[in-house]
Amino acid sequence: MRKHWIRSVTLTAILAVGASASGWDDAAAIAKGKKLFAANCAACHGVEGVGPGVDWRKKTADGRFPPPPLNGTAHTWHHQPSLLDRIIAEGGKMYGKSYNGWMPAFGDKLNKEDRSAIIKYLHSLWPEEIQKRYDKHFKLSD
Ligand code: HEC
């Protein structure tokens, strides 16, 4: 009995360390990312990344794609953290000329730490199931 108890306490401790060691559940960074997102991104991507309320897969009359939702219902979680960082830093031009991206570049305004806080915030918006799938594929340092 006692042995069992010790084993389960040890297991719980390992799981707890595992969760925080992944680095995603960083409350201070998420809070900072939330503020930065509201100030810089929500105007296009919607409050909490819900998107602008139009189909993000359909080009608008001007031949450009609308800003996609970032809350896990579109593609954001298919991209590793370093690519998300690049998209935020370089904006739509990083997709290449033919794509005609128009998201502004934030590299001058938001430093690496700011961008990392925003990415942690975005991750926190995703449904748990998607977070798990993402964390299986990618580490924060990827
Ligand atoms: C002026 C509107 C606008 C603003 C402001 C904006 N974005 Fe975007 N964003 C877009 C558009 C449009 C796209 C699609 C690519 C393109 O056409 O440039 C996009 C794409 C993205 C993507 C890729 C999504 C995917 O599913 O592949 C991410 C991530 C992203 N934006 C994050 C941000 C963050 C974080 C901010 C704030 C720092 C921000 N955006 C500010 C318009 C905007």
- The predicted-structure confidence for 78-118, as pLDDT tens digits, reads as follows 999 999 999 999 999 999 988 889 999 999 999 999 999 99
Tell me how far the alpha carbon of residue 101 lies from the centroid of ligand 1, in angstroms. 9
The whole-number average pLDDT for the span 1-29 is 65
* Pocket-testing residue among 97, 103, 120, ligand 1, by greatest number of atoms within 8 A of Cβ: 103
pTM of the predicted structure, to 2 decimals: 0.88
Q: Which domains does the chain have, with CATH numbers?
A: 24-137 (1.10.760.10)
Q: Which structure tokens are listed for 93?
A: 């031009």
Going by C-alpha positions, the residue among 30, 49, 50, 28 that lies closest to residue 40 is 49
State the Cα–Cα distance between residues 123 and 21, nearest whole angstrom.
Answer: 15
**pLDDT tens, residue by residue, 19-75:** 456 899 999 999 999 999 999 999 999 999 999 999 999 999 999 999 999 999 999
* Residues 23, 16 contacting (CB under 8 angstroms): no
| Dist. CA 10–CA 18, nearest whole Å | 12
Residue whose Cα lies nearest atom 29 of ligand 1: it is: 84
Query: In the prediction, which pLDDT does 97 show?
Result: 87
> Does residue 14 register a pLDDT over 70?
no
Q: Give pLDDT, residue 129.
A: 97
Q: Find out whether 120 and 30 touch, Cβ atoms under 8 Å.
A: yes
Nearest-CA residue for atom 16 of ligand 1: 101
Average pLDDT along the chain: 90
Give me the numbers of helices (H) and strands (E) for the chain, helices first please.
6, 0
Residue 8: its pLDDT value, please?
58
